[in-house]
Amino acid sequence: MRRSRIAGVGSYLPARIVTNAELAGRMDTSDEWIRQRTGIGQRHIAAEGETTSMLGVKAAEAALAHAGLKASDIDLIVLATATPDYTFPSAATQVQAALGITHGAAFDVAAVCSGFVYALTVADKFITSGSNTRALVIGAETFSRILDWEDRTTAVLFGDGAGAVVLEASEGKGDASDTGVLTTHLRSDGRHRAKLYVDGGPSTTGTAGHLRMEGREVFKHAVGMITDVIVDAFAATGYSAETIDWFVPHQANQRIITASAEKLGIAMEKVVLTVDRHGNTSAASIPLAFDVAVKDGRIARGDVVLIEAMGGGFTWGSALFRY
């Protein structure tokens, strides 16, 4: 059976770090409130002129180097973002051009914080169907550009960054002992738009708009939605909270992550947490966290990794793979 395996992973964070203390000097908030309610201690913010596709290119280059591959080996780029450089063309084609790739296809996927799970799912389908051989799956965001810096309820939560994996075709037996993506589960429900949205866009206001969120409402739905799709991933593969090696969740809020892990019975030692250093980087958060845990030696070849995300739309989803 044709599978898609993760050949390499990479990430990139803008140089500038903004601490909670710095934000507390600019708005009515405190390090204590932000840490207690979210687990966030700092976030990275892109420099002026540093765009989403620039972050994506750096993450992609790191993932290619880790895989020992050249850009010309790639025949598909799927880039998840809610903050593209332009209304069009896609950020994916910007990355394609910057990497010097002129064959294959590149396109963006819009699923906000669930974007990486969506993009991985799409790329896995393209590879396992036989249409493509090697894909760059990228999550890249500059949420700092769509934040209302006067709104303390959202401005303290998000950061900028990018992460990428190289997916490549491989042969497996067709069971849960295979290496590569073993299952993916995507969900959405557009009735929840008003709880988390951006109040602008090309066909409404003609502006990029600002992020608006009813945080408490999102929080209320998050744990249930996350655990539903994880139960689906366990049912599809036979893996369980006990038998997975690592849980790399979307990094929105440490309280949501802890509550989800507890509800599912996943031991906290298996949970990769980067929200303290990165904040919520939307579609970039999972590949950023995955890269950290691979490069520091925690996640090793052969380990079974569970990922999940939930965000604007609402969209949510999970994937389970053997690295």
Q: Which residue is nearest to ligand UT7 (CB)?
A: 215
Which entry of 20, 132, 253, 280 is annotated as an active-site residue?
280
- 271: tokens are 């949970």
Interface with ligand UT7, residue 188, by CB under 6 A = no
Least separation in angstroms between residue 155's CB and ligand UT7 is 7
Q: Is 36 in the site for ligand UT7 (CB under 6 A)?
A: no
Report if residue 38 touches ligand UT7, rule: CB under 6 A. Answer: yes
Stretch 198-227 residues interacting with ligand UT7 (CB under 6 A): 215-216, 218-219, 222
End-to-end CA distance of the chain: 17
Measured between alpha carbons, how far is 21 from 40 in angstroms, rounded to an integer? 11
Q: Which of residues 99-118 bind ligand UT7 (CB under 6 A)?
A: 113
Question: Smaller CB distance to ligand UT7: residue 60 or 218?
Answer: 218
Tokens 């539903």 sit at which residue? 228
Q: If you write DSSP's letter for every residue of 40-72 in order, what string do you get?
A: --EEEEPPTT--HHHHHHHHHHHHHHHHT--GG
Classify residue 15 by burial, with Cβ atoms within 10 Å: 0-12, 13-18, 19+: exposed
Decide if 278 is catalytic: no
Tell me 318's DSSP state: E
Query: Which residue number, 156 or 266, has a Cβ lying nearer to ligand UT7?
Result: 156
Q: Is 20 an annotated catalytic residue?
A: no
Which residues neighbour 131 within 8 Å (Cβ) at sequence distance 6 or greater?
A: none
Give the type of residue at 268: M
Euclidean distance between CA atoms 198 and 293, whole angstroms: 32
Single out the residue of 109, 230, 252, 286 in contact with ligand UT7 (rule: CB under 6 A).
252
Catalytic site includes residue 250: yes
| Contacts to ligand UT7 by CB under 6 A | 29, 33, 37-38, 113, 152-153, 156, 215-216, 218-219, 222, 252-253, 256, 280, 311
Q: Give the catalytic positions in this structure.
A: 113, 250, 280
